[in-house]
Chains A and B, each alone.
Chain A
Amino acid sequence: MMNIPFPDLRPVTPELIMTISATMLLILELIFKNKGILAFIGIITAAAVLYTLPMSYGETFGGMFISDTYSTYFKVIFIINLILTILVSLKYIQRQKAEYGEYYSLLLFATSGMMLMASAKDLIILYLGLELMALSTYILAGIKRHDIKSNEAAIKYFLLGAFSSALFLYGISLLYGMTTTTDIYKIAEHLKTTEATTTLLLSMILITVAFSFKIAAAPFHMWAPDVYEGAPTSITAFMSVGPKAAGFAVIGRVFYIAFQSIQTDWTPILIGIAILTMAVGNVLAIVQTNIKRMLAYSSIAHAGYMLIGIITGTNEGLGAMMVYLLIYAFMNIGAFAIVILLEKSSELEIKRGIDIKDYEGLAKSHPIVAALMLVFMFSLTGIPPTAGFIGKFNLFMAAINAGYTWLVVIAVIFSAISAYYYLRVVMNMYMKEMKEEAAISLSPSLGLAILITVIMVFVIGIMPSVVIG
């Protein structure tokens, strides 16, 4: 009889907890009428996962899965993203009539997909995680079944997502053909001894394109504004951080390890993408009138800054990119939380509280809400003493240290341009007269999410030691 050793499950404990809980939620949904309980279970799960993370270091499944500091850091970002998303969703999806039990279950599934991606040491696991994450988010984007825009978002996201997955598969099949392995570290070893062939470059380009879709980098960003606009805002917040972070986790792992030997080939490609992404994101954000679309373009621009961290090719740069992602998670979800606070559930196209114009005079009617939005806008611009500044500073420092001063000059110019559209929101809130009293719909959980994010924005901004080093 063949003796197949049972795999060591310790390194995958966090993923196991997450997946089991997600499955349980599907069943519990039938029992509980009050969906708030499901959200509560979701948060408990997240806390449990967070607790098990430090104990999970190691490799398993024959070296296909690895849990190391790199993956753990990303998993922390995913969990923060999950918790904050659940907090902002609670009352919001009720108002939006999208409170289906699957909602929380899918959030958990998507998060476990991301966690798998961050921990993948093998391209097959990577693909598995990618699809788990992507399929869950497609559904989440379209969860407002009766909203035509939400449907459109889901279809668009699905089509382009499937397209990019196919490109990715094509890329890894080429790699497999060349190296006869899907293990990232073995691929690296193999490539070290071979010349860079056209096939290898093609495979690298295909994988680059596939993940440019995932992180919404130009010129593969076109889906982002439509999907971000159409999806429920809580899901937009979730998507703008989670899948992006997962995409960066994979790019870091694949490019720094598997493609290390052809760094001179991928650097110029990524530089081109980064500059284009910053340009497209920042320039097109200026002309947006819908705040969700504006934040979509802003998140494209931020992907551009983060790519600089990858481009450096140094561990310092990679670390700076990871810190930036964490900071970005707080400030971006914070901004979306304010959008949710002001969004109305009306079915009408106009006066839904998501036009930048709807923020006019907010400082007068709701001074605290306006002040909070002001903090998030200045943080996204990168003005001290907020976290956004620390993130940019850290990133630019790593890039200059790696010799990319000219790229940083381009980046800072674009980030100065970004001030224009972030300030437009501030201007509307503080310098325009109110046309119509804005109604806010505050719930305790949403308040808690905003409180957490604003505190983190200031804490990281004033005492950066908490996230660096």
Chain B
Amino acid sequence: MTQLGYPILSTVIFLPIFGAILISLIKRTNDTFVKWTALLISLITFVLSIPLFSSFDKTTPNMQFTETHEWVSSWGIKYALGIDGISVLFVLLSTLLTILCVTISWNSIKEKTKEFYAALLLIEGSMIGVFCSLDLFLFYIFWEAMLIPMYLLIGVWGGPNRVYAAIKFFLFTLIGSVLMLVGIIVLYLYTDRSFDILKMMTMNYPYNMQIILFWAFFAAFAVKVPMWPVHTWLPDAHTEAPTAGSVILAGILIKMGAYGFLRFSMPLFPEATKAMAPAMMILSVIAIIYGGIICLGQTDLKRLIAYSSVSHMGFVTLGIFALNVQGIQGGILQMINHGIVTGALFLCIGMIYDRTHTRQIEDYGGVSTIMPIYAAFFMVFTLASIGLPGTNGFVGEFLILVGGFAASKTLGVLAASGIIIGAAYMLWLYQRVFFMETNPKVQGHPDMDTREILTIVPLIILVLWIGIYPNTFLSFMDASVQNLIERINTAGLAQTAQQAIEVIK
């Protein structure tokens, strides 16, 4: 049982799933009731997840709030949950963003509302499940199960090209995932039929096996992140998804890839990680620069933000594979930052799209005179995306660059140039949309209403909070990141030591 005396993680995972079932039982015509139920469920889930934040013990790298039950005993599968400093913030981000996804969709989803909110809550439950699973089988179930509602979310409520985007998203992730499944089975058989992640982390694996498994897991995680060159599903999926779908995709779903590297690839295959780190860092830097340059050529608002995600996630993987404390902490923090900032940008674009029904940048211009409040909010997120000091983006990118430089000076310099490209495309975007001549297409639209402001304000607070006092959040991961680095640095040594002992015997 947990330190709280009740299974908090199970509650947070299954409350949304239960809510989804509840919603599917509501009468179809009763849209308002559906929406309020969804909002209520997501709010309760968020409130229930707060103890994870307040009761979290920051001094230990061990798993907390753990729950373990037998599930499929003949296969050695357990229902095991727990979180540490790496995963705790993602759980909170998931519960928070889901509320915002409900409120932003309030008026824009008019068809099949029931299915929409049910799918949204199903995604929330399985996302949290991914971050909490301590059993590889359970993890895989959540990892794959969320593809179904996400596929529907993009394909049913998305933009004009949604069907293509949805199937592309599904096939890319599925091919990556099934290769990981093969890796999982190989690992399972090697560890005497155990899916226990914590047990797997204490074992040593032969070097060649580590390399092969590293690439098998890489297939799944790299597609999700997405790393260059398997990023091509992302611009389509982000662009065509409804606003809530884009927020979930950018905010949480693509973090699952980087989280996978941290939770599985690195502690399970430490020597392979060390050997492959340079390759991973080079791929990351390519993503940073390539993603940034592509952004400069975009004519579609959402597509631009989508490609900027490729670039930002490049920073994240660069930090992670720098394999030092600053890099990894920066990587984790930047994942949270990216979830907040890009999530917010997609929310903002969704708001203006609801008014103008166009995503073409050339259809905008002079928005700041028509919607001044909106323009102010957008400015904050633009600056955070660029990484202006005082916003959260700066802290994350700074830590990553410190870590990156320590690992490789050349790559550090190249990555830093990505920030300049980032400033170029974001400021240019802001200029084209908010300044210049007022486009007739944006004339006469009302500024943000209370619902929209309430949706955005929590994110503004977080942007400034992390920007000014990042320690609130960094302190969560200290112990876990230290522990992870130790595992990577000592793994090879432990094995050699063990071999030496055997020789002596």
Contacts and interface: CB of A to CB of B under 8 A. Distances in A.
B74 A412 contact: no
Interface string A373-414: 010001000011100010001001100110001001100110
Contacts of A423: 151, 167, 170
A431 interface: yes
A393 B182 CA distance: 9
B368 to A, nearest CB: 37
A409 B182 contact: yes
Interface string A158-193: 000000000000000000000000000000000000
A155 interface: no
B145 interface: yes
A397 B166 CA distance: 30
Contacts of A427: 155, 163, 166-167
A431 B155 contact: yes
A148 interface: no
A278 to B, nearest CB: 13
B303 interface: no
B179 interface: yes
A118 B170 CA distance: 40
Interface in A415-432: 415-416, 419-420, 423, 426-427, 430-431
A106 B145 CA distance: 41
B175 A464 contact: no
Contacts of A374: 148
A396 B140 CA distance: 15
Interface stretch (B183-191, B225-233, B324-332, B393-401): B183-191
Nearest to A464: B72
A413 B72 contact: no
Interface residues of B, number: 33
Contacts of B140: 384
A413 B175 contact: yes
A422 to B, nearest CB: 10
Contacts of A258: none
B28 to A, nearest CB: 8
Contacts of A393: 181, 185
A412 B156 CA distance: 27
A372 to B, nearest CB: 13
Main secondary structure of the interface of A (DSSP, over half): helix
B141 to A, nearest CB: 4
Contacts of B179: 409, 412
Contact of A383 (B28, B73, B144, B162): B144
Contacts of A465: 72-74
Given A383-B145, A413-B178, A465-B72, A396 B185 contact: yes
A401 B170 contact: no
A413 B174 CA distance: 9
A363 interface: yes
A431 B181 contact: no
Contact of A397 (B72, B156, B188): B188
Max chain A C-beta neighbours (<10 A), residue from B28, B156, B162: B156
Nearest to B186: A400
Interface in A291-350: none
Given A384-B140, A389-B144, A412-B181, A397 B174 contact: no
B144 A419 contact: no
A385 to B, nearest CB: 6
B152 interface: yes
Contacts of B74: 465, 468-469
B151 A400 contact: no
A451 interface: no
Given A363-B112, A427-B163, A419 B171 contact: yes
Max chain B C-beta neighbours (<10 A), residue from A378, A385, A430: A430
Interface in B154-174: 155-156, 162-163, 166-167, 170-171, 174
A55 interface: no
Given A384-B140, A468-B74, A416 B148 contact: no
A455 interface: no
Contacts of B141: 384-385, 389
B75 A378 contact: no
Interface string B439-483: 000000000000000000000000000000000000000000000
B61 to A, nearest CB: 30
B189 A397 contact: yes
B171 A420 contact: yes
Interface in A440-469: 463-465, 468-469
A415 B178 contact: yes
A400 B182 contact: yes
Contacts of A408: 182, 185
20 contacts: A363-B112, A364-B112, A374-B148, A383-B174, A384-B144, A385-B141, A389-B141, A396-B185, A397-B188, A400-B182, A409-B182, A412-B179, A412-B182, A413-B178, A415-B178, A416-B174, A420-B167, A431-B156, A431-B166, A469-B74
